[in-house]
Amino acid sequence: MTRSPELTTAAPLTKLSEEEGLFRDTVRDFAERDVKPRVAAMEQASALDSALIAKCFEIGLMGIEIPGELGGAAGSLLMTVLAVEELSAVDASLAICVDVQNTLVNNLLLKWGSDELRRRYLPRLAADLVGAYALSEPESGSDAFGLQTKATRRGDRWLLEGRKLWITNGAEAGMFVVFANADFTRGYKGITAFVIERGYPGLSVGKKEDKLGIRASSTCELILDGCELPATNVVGEVGHGYKVAIETLNTGRIGIGAQMIGVARGALAAALRYVKERHQFGHPIAEFQAVQFQLAQAATELEAARLMVYNAARLEDAGDPYTMQAAMAKLFSSQVAERVTSLAVELFGGYGYTKEYPVEKFYRDAKIGTIYEGTSNMQLNTIAKQLLK
């Protein structure tokens, strides 16, 4: 029996283990049953529904790779990818909240945090604490190591001064991983990572950005005005923050790839349904070969992007080199998401340009994929460097 196009776009051909398949299906059911009815309201309010965030904790989506003894699900990066893809097919805003929590915050502490930091924060991050990752600054985007936030040691304390921008989860986060330079004379080798809790003296969350897409996801300014924290809150070693940032962003790019294939999948599924319903010249537009070929091309590119993202995740899970594959997956999946969502809008015609139908949101949500966790040009730069090593 031939599967319908809708099922084909929702069920990747890549073989998953029984555990992975059950996990994916659980997230898909949650996305359809609990998330989908709230998407329009969250988009209108430009805020995530707190009940959904609580549900993400409840079903284990906020601590996927955290070991069981620390309260997590003891899963893999591929399982994080599956969760982000499934959520993004319905709502990319909730998906990026889950993605940042797992790939940038939990993953960073698992790889670089001291035993004390892991014991202190990971059980909370799996249970009820939202995390955020604060690297970017007003004058430090693609040139991340040009950051100007300053860290000064005072006995058993650190004081941080500076301003961070574009911080995902900024409104909801109870803790932040913040990068600051402890010794500007050493350039990027002075950069150090710190854990800062909301409520620490000198920390405040500033402006929330009014964005084109992923509108329910909070993107905020973070202000550090002599923010004081204990010396034990250093992640890794002083001056090794650049290594922490690079390796964490490599993983983060795989998560963004998952978000983009989910967005593209949601848009393509909506288009596949619509072309069977929309009649022109006395026929459903699905019967026109020009439409069929565009859909076939979109489905092919989406499947290729999915395989690249899954492959990068499996490489990291196996402990193999994955930097170039992560950059390729992020680059290509974001390009595919732009093309597929644009096609979906066009196939819906005038209706596609209205908020009454879902594809205009997928189209807007896709654009961020070419920007955060490194722009497309930065991915090309990474790929070129890896090729020429």
Q: What is the 3-state secondary structure (H, E, C) of 112-167?
A: HCCHHHHHHHHHHHHHCCCEEEECCECCECCCHHHCCCEEEEECCEEEEEEEEEEE
Instruction: Give the CATH number of the domain where residue 256 resides.
Output: 1.20.140.10
Question: Residues 139-144: contacts with CB within 8 Å, 24+ apart?
Answer: 141/166, 142/374, 142/375, 142/377, 142/378, 144/245
> Which bin fits 370, alpha (ψ -120 to 50), beta or left (φ > 0)?
alpha
Instruction: Give the CATH number of the domain where residue 43 resides.
Output: 1.10.540.10
Identify whether residues 259 and 226 lie together within a single domain.
Answer: no
Identify whether residues 207 and 310 lie together within a single domain.
Answer: no
- Segment holding 195, helix H or strand E: strand 191-197
Identify whether residues 168 and 82 lie together within a single domain.
Answer: no
Identify whether residues 272 and 303 lie together within a single domain.
Answer: yes
The contacts of residue 49 (CB under 8 Å, 6+ apart) are 38, 41, 42
Q: Decide if 329 is inside a domain.
A: yes
User: Quick one: pLDDT band at residue 3, thresholds 50, 70, 90?
Assistant: very low
Query: What per-residue confidence (pLDDT) applies to 123?
Result: 98
Q: Is the pLDDT of residue 85 over 60?
A: yes
Q: Which residue has the tokens 């988009």?
A: 43
Which residue, of 129, 162, 193, is where some domain finishes?
129
User: Quick one: average pLDDT of 12-16?
Assistant: 66
Q: Decide if 274 is inside a domain.
A: yes
Percent of the chain scored above 70 by pLDDT? Answer: 96
Which residue, of 190, 208, 239, is where some domain finishes?
239
Average pLDDT in the chain:
96
Query: What per-residue confidence (pLDDT) applies to 213?
Result: 98
Query: What per-residue confidence (pLDDT) applies to 246?
Result: 96
Q: How many helices (H) and strands (E) does the chain have?
A: 13, 10
Instruction: Give the CATH number of the domain where residue 143 resides.
Output: 2.40.110.10
Identify whether residues 105 and 150 lie together within a single domain.
Answer: no
The contacts of residue 44 (CB under 8 Å, 6+ apart) are none
Identify whether residues 219 and 249 lie together within a single domain.
Answer: no
pLDDT (tens digit per residue) in 229-281: 999 999 999 999 999 999 999 999 999 999 999 999 999 999 999 999 999 99
Residue 204 CA to residue 167 CA, distance in Å, equals 12
35: number of CA atoms within 13 Å, CB side?
Answer: 25
Identify whether residues 125 and 25 lie together within a single domain.
Answer: yes
Query: What per-residue confidence (pLDDT) applies to 15?
Result: 83
3-state SS assignment for residue 216: coil
281: number of CA atoms within 13 Å, CB side?
Answer: 4
User: Quick one: average pLDDT of 38-56?
Assistant: 98
Q: Is the pLDDT of residue 48 over 50?
A: yes
User: Quick one: average pLDDT of 274-303?
Assistant: 98
Identify whether residues 292 and 370 lie together within a single domain.
Answer: yes
Identify whether residues 246 and 383 lie together within a single domain.
Answer: yes
Identify whether residues 148 and 113 lie together within a single domain.
Answer: no
Residue 146 CA to residue 264 CA, distance in Å, equals 34
Q: Decide if 160 is inside a domain.
A: yes
Q: Decide if 3 is inside a domain.
A: no
With 0.85 as the threshold, say if the pTM is over it. yes
Residue 45 CA to residue 275 CA, distance in Å, equals 31
The contacts of residue 68 (CB under 8 Å, 6+ apart) are 74
3-state SS assignment for residue 309: helix
Residue 19 φ then ψ, to 5°: -65, -45
3-state SS assignment for residue 259: helix
**How is residue 192 written in tokens?**
């150090």
User: Quick one: average pLDDT of 332-339?
Assistant: 98
Query: What per-residue confidence (pLDDT) applies to 383?
Result: 98
Q: Decide if 330 is inside a domain.
A: yes
pLDDT (tens digit per residue) in 95-112: 999 999 999 999 999 999
**How is residue 212 written in tokens?**
């084109």
User: Quick one: average pLDDT of 14-20?
Assistant: 88
Report the candidate in 337, 380, 332 with the shortest Cα–Cα distance to residue 92. 337
Cα 367 from chain centroid?
13
Q: Distances in Å between the alpha carbon of 273 and those of 13, 346, 351?
A: 21, 14, 14
Q: Decide if 6 is inside a domain.
A: no
**Residues of the domain holding 336:** 242-387
Identify whether residues 122 and 165 lie together within a single domain.
Answer: no
Of 43, 65, 221, 373, which one is the catalytic site residue?
A: 373
Query: What per-residue confidence (pLDDT) applies to 304?
Result: 98
Does residue 247 have an active-site annotation? no
The contacts of residue 294 (CB under 8 Å, 6+ apart) are 343, 347
Q: Decide if 5 is inside a domain.
A: no
In the chain, the number of structural domains is 3
User: Quick one: pLDDT band at residue 7, thresholds 50, 70, 90?
Assistant: very low
Q: Is the pLDDT of residue 295 over 80?
A: yes
Query: What per-residue confidence (pLDDT) applies to 183?
Result: 98
Identify whether residues 36 and 64 lie together within a single domain.
Answer: yes
Query: What per-residue confidence (pLDDT) applies to 14?
Result: 64
Q: Decide if 8 is inside a domain.
A: no
The contacts of residue 121 (CB under 8 Å, 6+ apart) are 109, 113, 129, 131, 175, 195
Q: Is the pLDDT of residue 10 over 90?
A: no
Which residue, of 98, 129, 160, is where some domain finishes?
129
